[in-house]
Structure formats: C-alpha cells, structure tokens
Structure 1
Amino acid sequence: MILANATSVGMHPNVDETPLSKRALKSYAVVFDAVFVPRETRLLREAAACGATVIDGLEMLIRLVMVQFKLFTGGMTAPERLMREAILTKTH
C-alpha cells in the first residue's frame, strides 16, 4: 500500500508531530510526505524504520517549480539540475 501525506502535520515548527503512529506505518510499502521543511519528517523517519520506501516533499516542490516554469515561459523546458540545485541551496 501507498501512503501520501498531504497535510502540514510535521512541518516546521511542529517537527515532532506525525499524522500516523509508527505501528500504523508497518502496512505501507511506500510513504510520501508533501512536507519539505524539514526534508526528513518524523513520518518519513518512522516509515523508513518500518522498511518503507520514502519520498520527501522536496521532490514534489521541484516538479511543481518545473511545471510553473514551463507555463510561465510559454513552453520552455525548465533546467531541472539548476532548479534542483537552487531549491536545495535555499532549503539547507
């Protein structure tokens, strides 16, 4: 099963919060958390400890920026590496 957390639970400054208990996470093979600050949320840490593949919210943010760039420029493809580096620099 796949879990996608699209809430702000676990986002800075409430980094100790999680939308599910560690016990409940044991039934998920993949866990995605839309929160990107902090990059590694409690939800993702606990899901990884349960053996799930985890995907952080930074990947979603990068993909959204790329789509917005394409829309804003009338169809130009966003330079993914540059976008990724810029976002990583700003979020660290």
Structure 2
Amino acid sequence: MEPNSHQSAVSKEALRGYDLVFDVVYTPRNTQLLKEAAEVGVTTVSGVEMFVRQALGQFRLFTSGSAPEDFMRKLVIEQF
C-alpha cells in the first residue's frame, strides 16, 4: 500500500505454504504481496475484486436490484 508499495508484510518464503492469497489493498492493484505470491505459484485475488464485490452488494442492498457487474468492474479497473 502507498507509500510503501514495494514492501510486503509476508515473506516470499512464507507464501509457499498457501494455495490462495487475497490482498484487500486495491491501489496499487498488483501489490508486492500479490507479485511475490504469483512468483511462487500461489493463486492471487486483488483488492479490486473485493472493491467490486462490495459495490455490487451495496447496490443490491440499497436498490433491491442487480448491478451491471461487467460495467462496474470495468469502471473500477480503469480507475485503479
């Protein structure tokens, strides 16, 4: 996370023991944690996914309707 986006709280060696790493940080999208996890073969999920899923849930909660998921995801990715 800014301003220390080149650092990770978890060592690359420790990541080898996991199947999945989910980083809730969405800027930068590809954090050092996610980069290092991918380098050791771990499946990664970025904070952008969490951001989009929260927005979809909030839209549904407040409107009782379905949000345009593809459109919302595109907008978020363009911004972050």
Q: Percent identity?
A: 45
Structure with larger RCO (C-alpha < 8 A, sep 6+): 2
Which aligned pairs between 1:1-40 and structure 2 lie closer than 5 A? 11-40=1-30
- Offset of residue 44 of structure 1: 0.7
User: Which residue identity does 1:29 align to in structure 2?
Assistant: D
Runs of 4+ with >4 A deviation: none
Matched with 2:69 is 80
Higher strand share: 1
After superposition, the C-alpha distances for 1:18-61 in whole angstroms (9 at most, x for unaligned) are 11111111111111111110010111111111111111111110
Give unpaired runs (5+ residues) of structure 2. none
1:67 aligns with 2:23: no
Q: Which has the higher helix share?
A: 2
Amino acid at match of 1:69: F
Question: What SS does structure 2 have at the residue aligned with 1:70?
Answer: helix
SS at match of 1:54: strand
**Cα distance between partner residues in 2 of 1:77 and 1:29:** 31
Question: Structure 1 unaligned runs (5+)?
Answer: 1-10
Aligned length: 80
- Name the Cα RMSD after superposition: 0.9
